[in-house]
Structure 1
């Protein structure tokens, strides 16, 4: 029998060995998961469940905002996107609007795809450099 403590310990160890792009991808996945749960909750008239799922996604976005290294120009673009998503989620949470939540899911999915592609490109460049 696997204990929840063992699962938590494994997850912490797994996360601690991830690269920064892998961590960002994981956070994007968590946002998407929470927002999908919120849509299901909205459809089931589970107001508290929807609220909790949206707040979880908002908290992850806040973490992403706090983690930005603003010494890179692209970080300002990400900051604007994250702030937009956060503001939309606050409004969606008040209105319980699944359409705007779906819009944010699509935005995060696009960002996730970009990060995954960038990580692949970075690894390819790393292998090319090592081969020289």
Structure 2
């Protein structure tokens, strides 16, 4: 009973979220799944690490697709950052490398914080 209610709530929060809120959800998900992958590698759970890294890669693919690079150089630079992170995620997944994950988690967290700040400023 409760899980069904939660699923409805979760589905509605995505269905009725603004474009900006969806972006924040994506980036927060990237942080979460990258950290799950890190722990799964430590735990030697290869399938869980693979699944979490692929989800993180998919999030960055979506962020890249949704980015309008015609609006300015900043968008092009952000696209390159997303591409760099996605490439590193692929490499980390192939090698199950904690070192690579430890390199990119701070980048993903910085992107998350930047988008949170941008959202706060835009709401004012």
Partner in structure 2 of residue 108 of structure 1: 108
* CA distance in 2: counterparts of 1:61 and 1:82, whole angstroms: 6
- Distance, in Å, in 2 between the alignment partners of 1:20 and 1:113 is 17
Please name the residue that 2:82 is paired with. 82
The CA deviation at 1:18 is 2.1
Distance 1:17 1:68 in 2: 21
Q: RMSD value over aligned CA atoms? A: 1.4
How many pairs does the alignment contain? 123
Equivalent-residue separation in structure 2 for 1:19 and 1:103 (angstroms): 31
Larger radius of gyration: 1
Alignment of 1:23-42 (within 5 A): 23-42=22-41
Is residue 2:57 matched to residue 1:58?
yes
- Give the TM-score, by structure 1 length: 0.85
Q: What are structure 2's unaligned runs of at least 5 residues?
A: none
In 2, Cα distance between the equivalents of 1:92 and 1:99?
8
Task: Give the alignment of 1:93-104 within 5 angstroms.
Answer: 93-104=93-104
Structure-2 residue corresponding to 1:128: none
What is the CA–CA distance in structure 2 between the aligned matches of 1:122 and 1:86, rounded to whole Å? 27
Moved over 4 A (4+): none
